């Protein structure tokens, strides 16, 4: 009888220890998991900023709901949340140095970044338009087929045929301002922007005319 009791006691002890261990691991995972992004908080920060932390409203440059009207500032509406959050984080490092954005990004928490990114990903994009008919075919060819003799891959391979991109991997490009896309390709090529080895390699192989042509073509994608 005592042996049976001792055996049962040991069994219950093992079960209790195993259960406690599982609870402990679950609690640790919950603690380590980042808080879920809140697009409503992101909307407030995007529209109003945070004066106490010296964060200016994003909308003042990037436009209402991410619909920038200036080629100096990218359109952000419908951009993939993961990509926006990564770029904001990159602005806090030498990988993407920008006097204005670096200051704002460094004042933001990671949660702020994910909140703003979540808000922008839910906004509707506004179509752009290509402007230069003379380079339309060249831009189309580069985007769809690349430049074989320069070992430049097709943009569509990563950013998709319609410029929608691939969430968490490659950004949406469709409708982006020509001037902004050209500026980023140039920055990659010169090594001023360092947060994508792929784009640095590709841009260095392209001429200015090729960059201009594909940037214009991208603006007209829908």
The tens-digit pLDDT sequence of the chain (222 residues) is 555 444 545 554 544 444 555 545 445 555 567 789 999 999 999 999 999 999 999 999 999 999 999 999 999 999 999 999 999 999 999 999 999 999 999 999 999 999 999 999 999 999 999 999 999 999 999 999 999 999 999 999 999 999 999 998 899 999 999 999 999 999 999 999 999 999 999 999 999 999 999 999 999 999
Q: Can you list the positions of beta strands (E) in the chain?
A: none
CATH topology of domain 133-219: Cytochrome Bc1 Complex; Chain D, domain 2 (1.10.760)
Cα 218 to Cα 174: distance, rounded to the nearest angstrom:
6
Q: In this predicted model, what pLDDT tens digit does every residue of 107-128 receive, in sequence order?
A: 999 999 999 999 999 999 999 9
What per-residue confidence (pLDDT) applies to 213? Answer: 98
* Domains of the chain by residue range: 39-121, 133-219
* pLDDT of 71: 96
Instruction: Say what the pLDDT of residue 1 is.
Output: 52
- Tally Cβ neighbours within 10 Å of residue 1: 5
Q: How far is CA 114 from CA 39, 48, 174, 181, in A?
A: 8, 16, 22, 23
Residues 6+ apart with CB under 8 A from 198: 158
Tokens representing 190 are 């010169």
Domains 39-121 and 133-219 agree in fold: yes
pTM of the shown model: 0.84
**Class of the CATH domain delimited by 39-121:** mainly alpha
Grouping H, G, I as helix, E, B as strand and the rest as coil, residue 152 is: strand
């Amino acid at each position: 009888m005592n042996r049976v009791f001792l055996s049962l006691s040991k069994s219950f002890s093992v079960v209790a220890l195993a259960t406690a261990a599982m609870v402990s691991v679950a609690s640790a995972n919950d603690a380590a998991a980042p808080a879920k992004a809140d697009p409503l908080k992101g909307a407030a920060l995007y529209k109003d900023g945070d004066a106490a932390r010296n964060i200016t409203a994003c909308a003042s440059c990037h436009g209402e709901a991410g619909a920038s009207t200036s080629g100096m500032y990218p359109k952000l509406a419908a951009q993939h949340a993961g990509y926006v959050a990564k770029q904001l984080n990159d602005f806090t490092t030498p990988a993407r140095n920008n006097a204005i954005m670096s200051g704002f990004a460094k004042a933001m928490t990671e949660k702020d970044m994910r909140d703003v990114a979540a808000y922008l990903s839910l906004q509707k994009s506004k179509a752009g338009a290509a402007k230069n008919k003379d380079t339309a075919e060249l831009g189309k060819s580069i985007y769809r087929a690349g430049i074989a003799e320069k070992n430049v891959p097709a943009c569509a391979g990563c950013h998709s045929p319609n410029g929608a991109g691939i969430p968490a991997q490659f950004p949406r490009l469709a409708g982006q301002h020509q001037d902004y896309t050209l500026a980023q390709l140039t920055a990659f090529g010169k090594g001023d922007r360092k947060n994508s080895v792929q784009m640095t390699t590709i841009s260095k192989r392209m001429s200015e005319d090729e960059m201009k042509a594909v940037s214009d073509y991208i603006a007209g994608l829908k």
